[in-house]
Amino acid sequence: MSGLDGVDMRYRREDFEVDGALRDVCILDASINDWQNLLAGLALANWPAQFAWTLFESIDGAIPDARSLFDRLKSDPEESASLSVQVGDIWFTCYFFDIDEIEFTFDPAEVEDPASFAHLEAFVRRLGDSTHRNVVVTMEGTDHRTMPALIEYSPT
């Protein structure tokens, strides 16, 4: 199972050492269509999910349409939303910061062996296959383009 540029999708303990930083799963240069495809792909995966609007309400498990979600966030700068998806024992969380970048964070302590890594791999593959876009896993940060990838996946 190889990704882009020769980076393999295999477990390397050093990539998941607990160091106080989370890890990010990203799709760069995303569009609203990528978001919609992602949300549809996650719904099909049937993994436990929790979606929440921060200010006014909380909806458990019901993932909204991407366009209406970002329209609501744009219309009210005080509003925020989050989506958490559980794959195995790993929780992946997205905060919908920017349409241009899909970013989920996870705790590296939850990836402790090849068996738990298989859950990360399943999530990365689902994102890439749903959006038909490249997916990178990096250390936590704000400029993922300049960060070395721990994992890269390119759907075929």
Q: What is the mean pLDDT of residues 41-47?
A: 91
Q: Which two tokens stand for residue 28?
A: 């760069």
Q: Give the long-range contacts of residues 145-149, CB within 8 A, separation 24 or more.
A: 145/28, 149/3, 149/4, 149/5, 149/7
The residue with greater pLDDT, 46 or 123, is 123
Q: Residue 77's pLDDT is what?
A: 84
pLDDT digits (tens, 9 = 90+) for 71-88: 989 998 888 999 999 999
pTM exceeds 0.75 for this model = yes
Looking at the predicted structure, is the pLDDT value of residue 67 above 60?
yes
Q: Would you say 34 and 127 are in contact if contact means Cβ atoms under 8 Å apart? A: no
- Nearest Cα neighbor of 123 from 113, 136, 140, 141 is 136
Band of residue 5 on the pLDDT scale cut at 50, 70, 90: very low
